[in-house]
């Protein structure tokens, strides 16, 4: 019996690690192509920043990859176990299916604990850190590198266009001063960063400016050296207070407690309608916060429900094909996630009890899994 337990557990564990790696790669690929790869190819991002961003994304993506990987691994392992007649041999030896799969179910409970850590703490913190990193990188790229051949709008009141940028030596620089309705062109220029004062200093050589006056005439001027100073954009989507969907469980708990302390006397002087509107908004925020807390906890138990369903379905498929197992896994994951998406869309509608919607797929999958496992154990 110990040999069978060890054999099945190692098979599921090996398949789980491989499936999680594949799903993580697939889910990561879309984000990398969209937000990370293009700046790297254009030479606008350092390889260290790219690797750090990928590392921060992995814990967040594992929230979804781990349950999918466990479902896929149970379908594949037990489908092959049944197709090779190994299950028949085990039953002929007097070993029941329930005793055979007990270690795999314990493994799924362990995965639930790991998933809870990802859902409630590590994943949200990594997501916030990733957003901050991308925001800083974008600000640094646009403000500090002045990328060539693309308009730069990050400086209030100005539009910059640089024909060539070689380590701070610029060529064919065009500056649109929107406040004074002035266009400045310089064949050469340089820029420097003053990190102490958080400003960028742009120096133009042999610059020519054209200012359009109110009566439509153009006033020309030339400069041997012209210096333009601009504050660096440090507020480009910086994440100070994370969104509700990016909060850890403990931050959500503290936020809900703070919102519940909203007191009527603290808004004295506001009209009755204004008070009602404020309380309504606060109630919506409280409901959204509580719904997110339930989502994080409920989603942590997806591994157990997927294991309960995956084991008997793998046996009933009685096939060795990997493609079919992955297809069934994706279909079941789609069903499960549809409830999660529905709950998130109704998070601010307490009359629909969105927190219960997050738990509903767990109840359905676990109930169906128990019935299927019981039937499989009876040989039905």
CA 268, 269, 272, 276 torsion-angle sign = negative
In a domain, 369, yes or no: yes
Q: Which residues contact 198 (CB under 8 A, 6 or more apart)?
A: 231, 232, 234
Domain co-membership, 199 together with 289? no
Residue where one domain finishes, among candidates 209, 231, 253 = 231
In a domain, 238, yes or no: no
Count the helices and strands in the chain (H runs, E runs): 11, 5
Residue where one domain finishes, among candidates 199, 231, 263 = 231
State how far the Cα of 178 lies from the Cα of 158, in Å rounded to an integer.
Answer: 6
Query: Closest Cα partner for 335 from 71, 117, 109?
Result: 71
Domain count for the chain: 2
Q: Residue 103: in which H helix or E strand, if any?
A: helix 97-117
Q: Which residues contact 69 (CB under 8 A, 6 or more apart)?
A: 16, 17, 19, 20, 22, 23
In a domain, 239, yes or no: no
Domain co-membership, 284 together with 138? yes
Domain co-membership, 12 together with 134? yes
In a domain, 260, yes or no: no
Domain co-membership, 69 together with 169? no
Domain co-membership, 47 together with 79? yes
Query: Closest Cα partner for 291 from 336, 240, 256?
Result: 256
Residue where one domain finishes, among candidates 231, 266, 298 = 231
State how far the Cα of 80 lies from the Cα of 334, in Å rounded to an integer.
Answer: 24
Within 10 Å of residue 298's Cβ, how many Cβ atoms? 22
Give the per-residue pLDDT at 307.
92
What DSSP character marks residue 84?
A: T
Give the per-residue pLDDT at 111.
95
In a domain, 373, yes or no: yes
Instruction: From first to last of the 380 residues of the chain, give the pLDDT tens digit.
Output: 788 888 889 999 999 999 999 999 988 887 776 666 666 655 555 677 778 888 888 999 999 999 999 999 998 888 888 888 887 888 877 888 888 899 999 999 999 999 999 999 999 999 888 888 776 665 555 445 566 777 777 677 778 888 887 777 888 888 888 877 888 888 988 887 765 666 778 888 988 888 877 777 778 888 888 888 776 554 444 444 567 888 888 888 888 777 666 554 444 444 556 555 666 666 777 888 888 899 999 999 999 999 999 898 888 876 555 566 677 778 888 889 898 888 888 877 777 888 888 999 999 999 999 998 888 888 76
| Cβ–Cβ under 8 Å, residues 376 and 312 | yes
Give the per-residue pLDDT at 251.
85
Give the per-residue pLDDT at 254.
84
Domain co-membership, 12 together with 136? yes
In a domain, 267, yes or no: no
Find the domain containing 83 and state its range: 2-143+274-378
How far is residue 16 from each of residues 28, 71, 112, measured CA to CA in Å?
18, 8, 13
Domain co-membership, 132 together with 78? yes
Domain co-membership, 333 together with 294? yes
Domain co-membership, 133 together with 178? no
In a domain, 298, yes or no: yes
In a domain, 247, yes or no: no
Give the per-residue pLDDT at 177.
83
pTM higher than 0.75, yes or no?
A: no
Domain co-membership, 162 together with 16? no
Domain co-membership, 80 together with 112? yes
What DSSP character marks residue 328?
A: H
Domain co-membership, 178 together with 285? no
């Amino acid at each position: 019996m110990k040999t069978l337990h060890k054999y099945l557990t190692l098979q599921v564990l090996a398949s789980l690690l491989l499936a999680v790696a594949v799903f993580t790669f697939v889910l990561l690929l879309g984000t990398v192509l969209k937000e990370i790869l293009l700046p790297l190819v254009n030479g606008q991002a350092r390889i260290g920043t790219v690797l750090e961003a990928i590392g921060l994304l992995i814990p967040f993506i594992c929230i979804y990859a781990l349950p999918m990987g466990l479902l896929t691994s149970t379908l594949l392992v037990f489908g092959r176990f049944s197709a090779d007649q190994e299950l028949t041999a085990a039953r002929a030896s007097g070993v029941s299916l329930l005793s055979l799969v007990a270690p795999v179910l314990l493994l799924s409970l362990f995965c639930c604990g790991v998933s809870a850590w990802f859902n409630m703490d590590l994943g949200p913190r990594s997501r916030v850190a990733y957003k901050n990193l991308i925001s800083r990188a974008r600000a640094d790229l646009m403000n500090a590198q002045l990328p060539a051949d693309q308009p730069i709008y990050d400086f209030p009141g100005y539009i910059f266009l640089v024909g060539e940028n070689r380590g701070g030596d610029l060529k064919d620089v065009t500056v649109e001063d929107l406040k004074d309705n002035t266009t400045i062109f310089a064949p050469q220029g340089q820029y420097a960063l003053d990190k102490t004062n958080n400003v960028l200093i742009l120096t133009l050589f042999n610059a020519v400016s054209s200012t359009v006056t109110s009566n439509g005439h153009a006033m020309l001027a030339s400069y041997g050296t012209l210096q333009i100073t601009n504050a660096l954009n440090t507020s480009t989507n910086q994440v100070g207070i994370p969104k509700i969907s990016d909060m850890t469980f403990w931050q959500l708990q503290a936020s809900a407690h703070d919102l519940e302390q909203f007191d009527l006397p603290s808004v004295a002087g506001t009209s009755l309608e204004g008070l009602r509107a404020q309380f309504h908004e606060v109630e919506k925020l409280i409901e959204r916060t509580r719904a997110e807390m339930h989502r994080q906890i409920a989603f942590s138990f997806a591994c157990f429900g997927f294991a309960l369903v995956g084991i008997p379905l793998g046996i009933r498929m009685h096939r060795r094909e990997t493609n079919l197992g992955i297809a069934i896994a994706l279909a079941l994951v789609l069903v499960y996630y549809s409830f999660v998406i529905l709950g998130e869309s109704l998070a601010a509608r307490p009359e629909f009890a969105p927190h219960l919607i997050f738990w509903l797929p767990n109840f359905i999958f676990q109930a169906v899994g128990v019935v299927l496992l019981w039937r499989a154990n009876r040989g039905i």
